[in-house]
Amino acid sequence: MKATQRVEVWVWVLLYGGLLAAVLGVFVAREEGGAAIGIALWLVGGIAAAAGVALIVLRSRMDNHPR
């Protein structure tokens, strides 16, 4: 698998996984007694989504010319 393909796969995994975890964290934090787990899920999801965005920037700057 080429490096560009690997980066593209990680972009989608981190973006969608991070957003899903963040939304799940919001719902868990609303439940009684779930504040700590909810906030942790929200933070981890946000960090993962931000990493996905950073990989989009990285991918846009990668040299993808065939060699």
**What is the residue extent of each domain of the chain?**
7-61
Helix (H), strand (E), coil (C) string for 16-52: HHHHHHHHHHHHHHHCCCCHHHHHHHHHHHHHHHHHH
Residue 66: pLDDT band (50, 70, 90) is low
Print burial letters for 26-45: b (CB count within 10 Å at least 16), e (below 16): eebbeeeeeeeebeebbeeb
Q: Which residues contact 12 (CB under 8 A, 6 or more apart)?
A: 52
Q: Is a pLDDT exceeding 70 seen at residue 47?
A: yes
Mind listing the pLDDT tens digit for each residue in 18-43? 999 999 999 999 888 888 999 999 99
